Homo-oligomer: A and B are copies of this chain.
Amino acid sequence: MDKVVSAAQAVSHIRSGDVLLIGGFLQWGTPETLLKALLERDVHDLTVVSNDTGTGETATICLMQQGMVSRIKSTYIGANSHSGQMLIEDPASVELIPQGTLAERIRAGGAGLGGALVEVGLGTVAAEGKPTLEIDGKTYLIERPLRGNVALIYATVCDKAGNCFMKGSTKNFNVIMPLSADIVLVEAESIVDVGELDSELIHVPGVLVDYVCQREDV
Interface residues of A (CB under 8 A from B): 104, 108, 111-119, 133, 135-136, 138, 140, 142, 144, 167-168, 199-201
Contacts and interface: CB of A to CB of B under 8 A. Distances in A.
How many copies of the shown chain assemble into the complex?
A: 2
6 contacts: A104-B111, A112-B118, A113-B117, A117-B117, A135-B144, A168-B200
Contacts of A117: 108, 113-117, 142
A108 B168 CA distance: 25
A141 to B, nearest CB: 9
Nearest to A165: B200
A145 to B, nearest CB: 9
A136 B146 CA distance: 13
B114 A138 contact: yes
Contacts of A138: 114
- Sort A-B residue pairs by CB-CB distance and give the 8 closest, nearest first: A114-B117, A114-B140, A114-B135, A115-B117, A113-B117, A115-B135, A200-B201, A113-B116
Contacts of A114: 117-119, 133, 135, 138, 140
Given A108-B117, A112-B119, A200-B201, 16 more contacts: A104-B111, A113-B116, A113-B117, A113-B118, A113-B140, A114-B118, A114-B119, A114-B133, A114-B140, A115-B135, A116-B117, A117-B142, A135-B142, A135-B144, A167-B200, A168-B199
